[in-house]
Structure 1
Amino acid sequence: MTITRRLALGLGLALAALSSTAALAQDALRVGAYPANPPWQNQNADGAFEGFEVDIVNEIAKRMGRTAEIQPYDFRALFVATASGRADMVISSLTITDERLESQSFTQPYVAGALGIGTKEGAGISSLADLNGKTVGAIATSFGETYLKDHQSEANYADLKSYDTVANMLTDLQTGRVDAVVNDEVGLRYAFQQMQGLTVAGTIQTGELFAMMMPKDSPLLEQVNQTISDMKTDGTMAALYKKWMGTDPAPDSVTVTPGPIPTSAAG
């Protein structure tokens, strides 16, 4: 074999390898997730992700002929991940808001959420009004923090502490550094099953809707949204909800009702 032919063969093999690598990269659906947010998503001791939204993205990827590659991010970094294009979508019981829709896109919602007020048992705090003069914790840039800031005159709390992680926030609640925390109600109830002495003492009905966030006008948005509709129609979404929440979703809830891509917080 001549040197020219060997060079040509080597170049051909290299190009084939690059082509194969590119194809594999295209098959991967890059998903960002906050790693400590059960039952929505949680990274276990082996580094694997599990949870309600994890099952959803894995099913979406499967139906799209792809695989989901889930990477951990701090909560605030989730927004940078989609805005910069480093992630195709992110999950973390994210609330659709008009402000977020200015720079991000969302799929149709699959859960109607509420905020919980977490306290020590017997703290005597069960409503926004009871936060008067108290020190309150919330996750930085979360819907809960935004809600507290927007309702400061009603809550009249003495201090609002922002946290990067749920673990640090709940540790401060246990040790008394904060009097109460405001966060996703489902997540708080789940966490308090493993934390003695803490309780969800009150619920704030906000009308918030949880969905997946994607880069603004992502070319994958239509396909992902249609896949979510299909999962609602064929019963997959309801089955996953029952698996992780322990109960059936309401028959007329957003968990089982297909919807369009939202253009406002109202859906």
Structure 2
Amino acid sequence: MLVGVRALVLGLLLAMCGSALGLSFVPTAACAQGEPLRVGTYIDNMPWGFRNDKGEIVGFDIDLVQQIGRSLGRPVDFQSMAFRDLFTALASNRIDLAVSSISITSERLAYIDFTQSYYETAQGVLVMKKSGMRDVGDLAGKNVSVTSGTTSERWVTANAQRYGFGRTSFSQGSSDGVRLLEAGAIDAYVGDLPTLLYQLLKRPDLAVIARLPSQERYGIALAKDSPLTAKVDAAITRMKQDGTLARIHKRWFGMAPDKDSATTKVLPRP
């Protein structure tokens, strides 16, 4: 059955009118003066990181890191790259940290650091509404696409035999997944729910047909044993305590986060 998304979609619609509704994020720290903070991010990931109509890089994660830069007294230098390349860029010291709704997993913790989680969600399945598909069981024999290197790829690989998926292919993000759906090149795109729901704002011909049984906890990734890890984590703690992170959430989702969510509650580092 279709996932009930009216409340969140309405919130996202409100977020798009943030300026008119007085929801614009106002930074609270002084301008950064130190050495640039090199930040790798994947720019096809609404509402976390994407280019607006002016070509500017914007999004929840972008606001988050810009505020961390202010807190640390360092300007931010965003470097766009494919999602799968973020981890090798950290390992080769080409970037200081990576942010792109990156899920904290035990496999990743073996070779990189993570801050505490700042957002929790699940994955979902996006299809064309006219397809008539209503749940994961309808994907038997269907072509499914994911973004390479993500936990969505891991879920599809682990469940391909159980649900009898047809061919699995890679998309260059959710926007590319939507283009492939529209062209009939794939039957479904699997990704994190907030990104899929954001697509519904401008595409009433799309449908999210399932919330998958997975828990995605987003954190900022850094090189293993990075001297910045504790500082970035402490900056997130301050943002939770003073309400800055909640304001960023309201800007992009049009509603305040739950009071006990990872966006408001200070958590230990994994």
Report the equivalent of 1:256: 264
TM-score in terms of structure 1 length: 0.85
- What are the superposed Cα offsets for residues 57-76 of structure 1, whole Å, 9 maximum, x if unpaired? 01111011111111111111
Structure of higher RCO (CA pairs closer than 8 Å, 6+ residues apart): 2
Q: Which has the higher helix share?
A: 1
2 CA distance for matches of 1:228 and 1:147?
29
Q: In the superposition, relative to structure 1, how do residues 82 and 47 fare at CA in structure 2: closer, same or farther (>3 Å)?
A: farther
Report the equivalent of 1:97: 105
- What are the superposed Cα offsets for residues 58-114 of structure 1, whole Å, 9 maximum, x if unpaired? 111101111111111111111111111111111111111111111111111111121
Contact 1:90 1:212 in 2 (8 A): yes
Instruction: Could you tell me which runs of 5 or more consecutive residues in structure 1 were left unpaired when the two chains were aligned.
Output: 1-23, 263-267
1 CA distance for matches of 2:218 and 2:123?
12
TM-score in terms of structure 2 length: 0.84
Deviation, 1:158, is 1.2
2 CA distance for matches of 1:230 and 1:25?
20
> Equivalent of 1:73, from 74, 81, 105?
81
Instruction: Could you tell me which runs of 5 or more consecutive residues in structure 2 were left unpaired when the two chains were aligned.
Output: 1-31
Are 2:186 and 1:178 equivalent residues in the alignment? Answer: yes
Report the equivalent of 2:17: none
- What is the aligned length? 239
Deviation, 1:248, is 1.3
What is the aligned-residue identity percentage?
Answer: 33
Note the 1:207-222 alignment, pairs <5 A. 207-222=215-230
Contact 1:42 1:51 in 2 (8 A): yes
Contact 1:61 1:68 in 2 (8 A): yes
Contact 2:33 2:75 in 1 (8 A): no
Are 2:167 and 1:150 equivalent residues in the alignment? Answer: no
Contact 1:174 1:198 in 2 (8 A): no
- What are the superposed Cα offsets for residues 27-57 of structure 1, whole Å, 9 maximum, x if unpaired? 2111111112111111235443111111110
Report the equivalent of 1:203: 211
Report the equivalent of 1:165: 173
Q: In the superposition, relative to structure 1, how do residues 95 and 126 fare at CA in structure 2: closer, same or farther (>3 Å)?
A: farther
- Cα RMSD for the two superposed structures: 1.7
Contact 1:117 1:126 in 2 (8 A): no
Are 2:249 and 1:245 equivalent residues in the alignment? Answer: no
Are 2:48 and 1:36 equivalent residues in the alignment? Answer: no
Q: Which amino acid aligns with 1:227?
A: A
Report the equivalent of 1:19: none
Structure with the greater alpha carbon radius of gyration: 1
